Amino acid sequence: MRTFNTLVAVLLAAGAASALANPLAKTECIAPAKPGGGFDLTCKLAQTALQDAKLIGDPMRVTYMPGGIGAVAYNTIVAQRPDAAGTIVAFSGGSLLNLAQGKFGRYTENDVRWVAAIGTDYGAVVVAENSPFKSLKDVMAAIKADPTKVVLGAGGTVGSQDWMKAALTARAGGVNPKTMRYVAFEGGGEALTALQGGHIHVFTGDAAEALQQRKAGAKIRILAVMHSKRLTGDLASVPTATEEGFAVEWPIVRGFYVGPKVSDADYQAWAEAFTKVMATPAYDKLRDERGLFPLALTGAPLDAYVKKQVAEYRKLAEEFGLSTKPAN
């Protein structure tokens, strides 16, 4: 009898340990900015999708960790929480661009484990609802006439993806990007608030982010999207930058990474959960509601995609005379 009881105890203990070891039992998503921007949108999409599909235990906690447009979160995970198996961190194409320029300190794209890309967005040119600018052509004509009188702003410093969107558009319009007046904010939410307050005139952000804010009551207008063709749904009436005469495309991947010391088993658990949820019609609906477009990559294919994108961004940064060396 004692042997039987001992065996039961061992099995119960093993079961408890297994439950505790499950990275999806108690989860957290870190949004590397203040609430209201694209990272917030990304975390909340995962939170809803995984919970609705019953692929996680307790409701996912969303934590905000602003600083350095993702640098603080990246450094925290790599240096302080490298084996936090239940924690995923949101990233975007902007994160990859910053990595390409060494803006995350001594860490590179090789220092985390890339788990899943869950959709893509596209760059957008946005103005306040009462703005005199009615089209991207109007904006570019004003900048060309006097760059000092048009203040652009977004959630990123010089060299960030939001700055790059503005710089590429300016260059396409024959304006030297170095003459632009650009104000950096910590996240798209802050920039959109400044836009509505009249502190900046033009926001170069993300289409889905702007659309969600508009639906939530933000008094803004989307003038153009940076894609080769018009987007669908609520953005179908918005012209592309190319239609306006400025051949600029800027896709924005959205996804997650985990710390470098997360085990292969835990990493695979996350990758498989995202693979499973993204194959459902319910997920397509959730993604579409947030204005994101299909892009489903997990595990090794995502890792290869990230490495390729970072290499391309390094070349682009060099074209604009931006540093690609890690910060001290």
Of 215, 120, 225, 115, the residue nearest 165 (C-alpha): 225
Count of other CB atoms within 10 angstroms of residue 239:
15
Residue 51: predicted pLDDT = 97
* CA 232/CA 235 separation, integer angstroms: 6
Q: Are 156 and 163 in contact (CB under 8 A)?
A: yes
Residue 21: predicted pLDDT = 61
H helical segments located in the chain: 2-21, 38-52, 71-75, 93-100, 136-145, 161-172, 188-196, 207-215, 264-278, 281-289, 299-319
Dig out the tokens for 307 from the structure: 């490495």
| pLDDT per 10-residue tile (average), the chain, 328 residues | 44 38 92 90 96 95 91 97 98 91 92 97 95 96 92 87 88 88 87 94 90 92 94 92 92 96 97 98 94 93 96 90 70
Q: Which fold has domain 27-120+252-319?
A: D-Maltodextrin-Binding Protein; domain 2 (3.40.190)
Strands 251-258 and 151-154: unpaired
Of 67, 22, 84, 11, the residue nearest 257 (C-alpha): 84
Return the DSSP state at 240.
B
Domains 27-120+252-319 and 122-251 share a fold: yes
Dig out the tokens for 248 from the structure: 């600029």
Of 108, 153, 122, the residue nearest 257 (C-alpha): 108
Q: CB under 8 Å to 38, separation ≥6 — which residues?
A: 92, 121, 155, 188, 205, 206, 208, 209, 252, 254
Of 102, 27, 109, 100, the residue nearest 62 (C-alpha): 27
User: 122-251 in CATH: which number?
Assistant: 3.40.190.10
Burial class (CB in 10 A: 0-12, 13-18, 19+), 6: exposed
This prediction has a pTM of 0.77
Of 97, 119, 96, 109, the residue nearest 42 (C-alpha): 119
Count of other CB atoms within 10 angstroms of residue 285:
10
Could you state, in order of their start, the residue ranges of all structural domains in the chain? 27-120+252-319, 122-251
What dihedral do alpha carbons 324, 326, 327, 328 form, nearest 10°?
-150
Rounded alpha-carbon distances, angstroms, from residue 217 to 135, 141, 145, 213: 21, 29, 33, 6
Residue 54: predicted pLDDT = 96
